[in-house]
Amino acid sequence: MSTSVYTPGQVAEETGFSLDTLRYYERIGLLERVGRNAAGQRRFTQQDIGWLGMIRCLRDTGMPIAEMLRFAELTREGEHTIRDRIALLEAHDRRVEAQVANLREKQAALRNKIGYYRGVIAETPCPAAG
């Protein structure tokens, strides 16, 4: 299984992005032009897959595509942008933290509500026996 290249289907399978999404990401430049075989079909490298893993992390944590594009750009520009990349990721990390905090807060409120409903039921044990 040390195939050094992967077909679109394999990549979709592995990354969880749909074929259309993979093409879309390439179109908008989030994915650098992917290599092709003689017939013009995409052949992804291990590197491409690694980058897609990064994209997956950023998307799943709610980074908008515009910002991922910025990050992609920085990455392409080379090592001298590493500080900028760190700054970008750290800012994002803070947003993720806030996101989790908000989720937890709202979740607590919802659990409260569930508890309240349970109490209501406890007072009226049998639905139609009031």
Partner DNA sequence: GCTTGACCTGGAGCCCGCTCCAGGTGGGAT
Partner DNA sequence: ATCCCACCTGGAGCGGGCTCCAGGTCAAGC
Decide: is 70 part of the binding site for DNA (CB under 7 A): no
Decide: is 19 part of the binding site for DNA (CB under 7 A): yes
Helix (H, G, I), strand (E, B) or coil at 95: helix
User: Which of 40, 125, 127, 129 contacts a copy of itself by CB under 8 A?
Assistant: 127
> Least separation, in Å, of the C-beta of 53 and DNA?
15
Measured CA to CA, the distance from residue 123 to residue 130 in angstroms comes to: 9
Map the footprint of a copy of itself across residues 14-73, applying CB under 8 A: 53-54, 56-58, 60-61
Decide: is 81 part of the binding site for DNA (CB under 7 A): no
Half-sphere exposure of 71 (CA within 13 A, CB side): 23
The residue count for binding a copy of itself (CB under 8 A) is 37
Measured CA to CA, the distance from residue 63 to residue 102 in angstroms comes to: 16
Q: At what angle do helices 65-77 and 82-123 cross, to 10 degrees?
A: 150
Is the distance from CB of 25 to CB of 31 less than 8 angstroms? yes
Map the footprint of DNA across residues 29-68, applying CB under 7 A: 36-42, 59, 64-66
> Least separation, in Å, of the C-beta of 54 and a copy of itself?
7
Judged by beta carbon distances under 5 to 8 A according to partner kind, the member of DNA, a copy of itself, none in contact with residue 7 is DNA
User: Could you tell me which residues come within 8 angstroms of residue 32 by beta carbon, excluding any fewer than 6 positions away?
Assistant: 26, 72, 76
Decide: is 85 part of the binding site for DNA (CB under 7 A): no
